[in-house]
Amino acid sequence: MTPPLLPGLSRASLEIAGERLEGDALAGAVGAVAASLDGKTRVALWCTSELATGLGIAGALVAGVTVVPLNPASGETEVAHETGDSAPEAVLASATAELPAALDWLPRIVVDPTARAPLQTDEPDADLPALIVYTSGTTGLPKGVVLSRRAIAANLAALAEAWAWTEADIVTQALPLFHVHGLVLGLLGPLRLGGGVRHVGRFTPEAIAAALADDATMLFAVPTMHGRLLAAAEADSKIADALRGARLIVSGSAALPARVHEAYTLATGQQIVERYGMSEALMIASARHDGPRIPGAVGTALPGVELRITDDAGETLPVGDTDVIGNVELRSAALFDAYLGNPTATAEAFRDGWFRTGDVGSLDHDGVLRLAGRSTTDLIKTGGYRVGAGEIEAALLEHPDVVEAAVLGIPDDDLGERIAAWVVVAPGSDLTDDVLVDHVASQLAPHKRPRVITRIDELPRNALGKVQKKRLVS
């Protein structure tokens, strides 16, 4: 018998932007969505921060229908590409959602939170595709990542073990619901376990603190949100107290600066759990609920995941020397099935059965993974050395006058690549470039110091808080 993907659904509670359903009412609303999809095999989901989005994903999965999550902030070209590539038979959306013209060709199925129907008990095959999630398209057109029901179940089970996550937990978040962080971890995770979701809608520190002060026990957020929560906690003891009361606070989707990590602990008593994941493999590594939480590290491999670090020839590098970085590769029970309709890209993503993440990093003797960034943008080859942009960014951020920092390699006739940094400094700071370069040189080897520094007002970021480095040099 196929184990159910959402066994705890009838015990769970789901709240998004102030609308809540739980228990039998939630199960009935999900059952109604499932019933509306009779005869369908694949649908798009317009992922606004509304209750309809949560009901839509749950109803489709109960019915065994594959979901293509769509970002409501996407442009017409992106929406047209993703739906043209994945060919959904309809689009699920709330009654009030304004859909773009690029979706006019698709029938609209309205998700009605007041509708009720029995929750079907037949479990679809675990190997059926559950989601087709599109990549960011930084190296070409976005690719559709096909994730099976089995992969999602395996990953959520691994996280439950690593975080001691149970049906007693209620997750608060304000993450976008078109991405695996908010949709799979922050929504399907609690529904699978029979716990609760408290998505506050638009992020504010006050809304997150109110959810934690009420009944939420866990917080999922990205570093940008944690930075704002930290500032609010330092200014308001009620927000600090609410954060202090959480059982577990998790950060992901981008690197959390060590300074924020440490200041968070000082202000709230919380040691943030960092984790590492990507669309093709869901969550890969994490600090454990009962293990060390090391600033600058993303924990150890989750159950069901194997990690290795390789050189460019594919040879496995020895663990232990965190100054020697290489390509992060993995094998996992939660890996994607394929890039939709793209067997060439699928084959190129693997080497000897190991998935090539495109990230670079190192493993220590305890299996703790430290990331240095993306191999395409964050591995800098300068003067014969391989340097990770991430460690230079971390060093820059240790200076009290540096608010944000991004590092890239730019072409250099002599060095191959020159280390360049874009920094946001605190208002009123008189920090000079020479002082900043000396600051980095005092922490890292001389060949890792920036040779070019550019001051900017803010770094370009996407909805998940990831810095879009290619926009810095475009």
Please write the tens of the pLDDT for every residue from 59-83.
999 999 999 999 998 888 889 999 9
Q: How far apart are CA 209 and CA 233, in angstroms?
A: 9
pLDDT of 265 over the 80 cut: yes
Greater pLDDT, 74 or 414: 74
- β-strand partners of 69: 45
C-beta neighbour count of 166 within 10 angstroms: 12
Predicted confidence (pLDDT) per residue in 370-380, tens digit:
988 776 667 77
The pTM of the full predicted model, rounded to 2 decimals, is 0.85
Spatial contact of 258 and 272, defined as CB atoms under 8 Å apart? no
DSSP 137-187: -TTSS--EEEEEHHHHHHHHHHHHHHHT--TT-EEEE---TTSHIIIIIII
Domains of the chain: 9-147 (3.40.50.12780), 196-374 (3.40.50.12780), 379-473 (3.30.300.30)
Single out the residue of 293, 306, 437 nearest to residue 367, CA to CA: 306
Q: How far apart are CA 221 and CA 143, in angstroms?
A: 25
Mean pLDDT of the region 115-121: 93
C-beta neighbour count of 473 within 10 angstroms: 11
Report in angstroms the alpha-carbon separations of 162 from 286, 291, 295. Answer: 8, 9, 18
Predicted confidence (pLDDT) per residue in 304-348, tens digit:
999 999 998 889 998 887 677 899 999 999 999 999 999 999 999
Give the chain's end-to-end CA distance (angstroms, integer).
Answer: 53
Residue 280 has a pLDDT of 96
Predicted confidence (pLDDT) per residue in 7-53, tens digit:
999 999 999 999 999 999 999 999 999 999 999 999 999 999 999 99
Predicted confidence (pLDDT) per residue in 187-238, tens digit:
999 999 999 999 999 999 999 999 999 999 999 999 889 999 999 999 999 9
